[in-house]
């Protein structure tokens, strides 16, 4: 797959490493420019690019940035994209400021989809970065952590769930995007390193 990752923090860079190990073509970008990504590119095997180039990936684009930075994305490229777009971020009012639509009941990913003008899948947001980086294990391992994937397109969810399985975690269907509040900050499914059955509950 051709995968673009916007956001070079702990989540974005860890995913870049996993995906390149699986043989995918990965481009990673941040807000500071590709020249600042030399170390991450060397470590992960991903190509350091601009946000515009990462947003142009044909198969999958992962957005792993604070919600307050969403308005700075290459919206025109994302809105026209044919790729699966994954929102891996979380809304923290203390960091992002109050977003009235979310405060009034929208899930953070519904808001993201509206901002970028493209449907999104919610994934990779309900695991802390150290666990994502260190707790991947082969399928069938009793200690496997599960991640939930929410969205309105069943085929796209299946693709993301398959990737999660391949990098070393179980995946469950978290329902529609409107139900993705279940994996947002403050909920029992958020960052608890749960197994598959417990996460389903």
pLDDT of residue 114: 96
The Cβ of residue 13 has, within 10 Å, a number of other Cβ atoms equal to 23
Pick the closest to residue 60 from 38, 34, 86, 33 (CA basis). Answer: 86
- Using alpha carbons, list the distances in angstroms from residue 167 to 16, 50, 146, 150: 11, 25, 12, 18
* pLDDT for the residue numbered 142: 87
**pLDDT by residue (tens digit) across 71-91?**
899 999 999 999 999 999 999
- The DSSP element (H or E) to which 149 belongs, if any, is strand 146-149
Tell me, what DSSP letter sits at residue 1?
-
- If 0-12 CB within 10 Å is exposed, 13-18 middle and 19+ buried, where does residue 96 land? middle
pTM value is: 0.96
Over its length of 201 residues, how does the chain's per-residue pLDDT go in tens digits? Answer: 999 999 999 999 999 999 999 999 999 999 999 999 999 999 999 999 999 999 999 999 999 999 999 989 999 999 999 999 999 999 999 999 999 999 999 999 999 999 999 999 999 999 999 999 999 999 989 889 999 999 999 999 999 999 999 999 999 999 999 999 999 999 999 999 999 999 999
């Amino acid at each position: 797959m051709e995968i673009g990752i916007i956001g070079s923090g702990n989540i974005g860079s860890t995913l870049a490493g996993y995906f390149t190990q699986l043989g995918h073509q990965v481009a990673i970008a941040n807000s500071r420019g590709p020249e600042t990504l030399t170390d991450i590119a060397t470590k992960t095997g991903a190509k350091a690019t601009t946000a515009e180039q990462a947003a142009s990936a044909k198969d999958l684009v992962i957005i792993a940035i604070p919600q307050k930075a969403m308005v700075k994305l290459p919206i025109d490229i994302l809105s026209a994209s044919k790729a699966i777009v994954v929102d891996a971020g979380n809304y923290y009012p203390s960091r992002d400021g109050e977003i009235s639509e979310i405060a009034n009941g929208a899930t953070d990913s519904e808001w993201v989809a509206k901002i970028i003008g493209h449907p999104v899948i919610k994934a990779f947001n309900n695991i802390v970065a150290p666990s994502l980086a260190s707790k991947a294990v082969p399928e069938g391992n009793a200690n496997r952590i599960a991640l939930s994937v929410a969205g309105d397109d069943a085929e796209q969810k299946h693709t993301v769930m398959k990737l999660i399985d391949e990098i070393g975690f179980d995946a469950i269907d978290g329902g529609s995007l409107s139900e993705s509040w279940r994996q947002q900050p403050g909920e029992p499914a958020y960052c608890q390193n749960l197994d598959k059955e417990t996460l389903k509950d």
